[in-house]
Every structure is written in structure tokens, then in C-alpha cells.
Amino acid sequence: MVERVLLIACLLYIGYIFAGFMSGPDWGAVVKNTFVPTVKWEPQFIMLTIAIIGTTITPWMQFYLQSSIAEKGVKKEDYKISKLDVVVGCLLTDIIAFFIIITCATTLFPHGIRINEAQEAALALRPFAGQYASILFAVSLANASILGAIVVPLATAYYICEAMGWEAGVNKSFKEAPQFMWIYTALILVSALLVLIPGAPLVLLMILSSLLNGILLPFVLIFALSLVNNKRIMGKYINSKGYNYIAWGTVVILISLTTALLVMSVAPKGN
């Protein structure tokens, strides 16, 4: 039931796509910069690159995905359907992120607009992309916030309980899984209080949390890859060479970017 509600809520993300088209981008420039991006070897550029990867392939999502599939009791004969489900979800995530970037690059960047709060992004779109694009972007942002407030604490509660050997599951009651429910509830309350702090730099916090996700992701992937390539555990369901190349490539890229960011941050600045 919970998964169905979240799936329906995900449909609202289509607002980002409409907002992207309504912002009136130069599609020639979009195609060119998609396949021939501008790369700057500067700390801020590298930091944002790591953050974008970290917010697209989040470490906590790996735990949530595993826990939700295990809780649903997916059978071996349904693995292909589950894999297709994950692949489609990944593609849609990238498409939505693509249109968010298009919208902001078309409207905010050319006018030198910097945002400190998420709501400012939607309001800033109005003069350049129109009222409806602004509303669609705002609704999509609100939807993303609600989904994040539900799923991120849920994933955290899952892996804490799994690590401690406690009962966990969204279909269980407080009596059946008290630790899981209390952790989940506490995380939502603490997060809500943090957001309500007057003047809190929410956009900066989002960037820093995404950066931390990107830095931690290689470690999660290394352990995950060691498991999915273990024949004793996975049998014939071990990872294919293609998936391994992609996954290990991601690990190498993130470790390289993190190392470059660290070196640039501590290296003495030239005169």
C-alpha cells in the first residue's frame, strides 16, 4: 500500500518535464552541452558534480531498495521484473534531473540568479518561463519534499534495524516492530524541526548532504559489488560484466573526483 502511494506521488514529477519545455530552451545548445559538456577543474565545479551524482544515485536508496524488495518477498522467477522496475526508475530519474537542469539553466543562470531556498527557484522562474511553469515547478518541488520526508527516514530506519537485528517493515504495527517505528517517527520529527529553524541555509544543507552522499557512495557500491559477484551467495544471479563495468566505473570516477576535490581544497593557491 505504501509503495503504491509513493508511486502515484511520483507521477507529479512530470511537472518538471513540462516546466522544462515551457522555459523555452535553445534545444541546439541543450544537445551540444549534453554530449560535449563544459568541464572546469575548479573545487566548486567538482563539488557540484559529486553532489549531482550523490543525489541521483543515493547510498540510502540502495538500502531502501534492498529492504523493500526483501519485504515484498520477491521470488526468483520475478527477478527480471524487479530488475526492469529498477532500470525504468533509474531512467526516469535521469530524465527528470535532465529537465530540472534545463529549466534552471534556461531561466536562472543567464540572469545571474542565485537561490538560497527551494521556493525561490520556483518564484524566480515566473518572469522568464511564465506563471504556469513556475506553478508546475513549485508543485514538483513540494512533491519531492514530501517523498523525501517519507523515504529517506524509512531507508535509515530499515538499515539501522537490520544492523541491530530488530524487526522492521512498513506493514508491521508499533507492537510488532517498535524500534523501527520509533526510529522512523523520531527521524521525521527531527528533520521537520531542522527545516523550521528560521534562516536555516536549506539549499546549502541540501548541497552538502548530496556531496556527502557522493563521497560515501563508492564505499556502499564496493561492498554491494562484492556481494553480487559472490557465486556462493548469488549463484547464477551474479552481476553481468556489463553491469560490473558500469558500477566499477562509477566507483573509480567518484573516488577520483573526491581525491581531486581534496587536493584542490588543501593545495596552496597560486599567486
pLDDT digits (tens, 9 = 90+) for 123-173: 666 655 566 767 777 777 777 777 778 888 888 888 888 888 888 887 788
CA distances from 139 to 68, 104, 134, 135 (A): 27, 16, 9, 6
Give the per-residue pLDDT at 127: 59
pLDDT confidence band for 270 (50 / 70 / 90): low
pLDDT confidence band for 1 (50 / 70 / 90): low
pLDDT confidence band for 267 (50 / 70 / 90): low
Pairwise CA distance, residues 200 & 9, whole Å: 27
Q: Which of 2-16, 58-72, 181-195, 212-226 has the lowest mean pLDDT?
A: 2-16
**How much is the average pLDDT of 260-268?**
76
pLDDT confidence band for 37 (50 / 70 / 90): confident
Between CA 243 and CA 10, with CA 206 as vertex, the angle to 5 degrees is 60
Q: Which residues touch 265 (CB under 8 Å, ≥6 apart)? A: 43
**How much is the average pLDDT of 36-48?**
86
Pairwise CA distance, residues 229 & 79, whole Å: 16
DSSP assignment of 202-242: HHHHHHHHHHHHHHHHHHHHHHHHHHHT-HHHHGGGPPPHH
DSSP assignment of 99-147: HHHHHHHHHTGGGT---SSHHHHHHHHHHHH-HHHHHHHHHHHHHHHHH
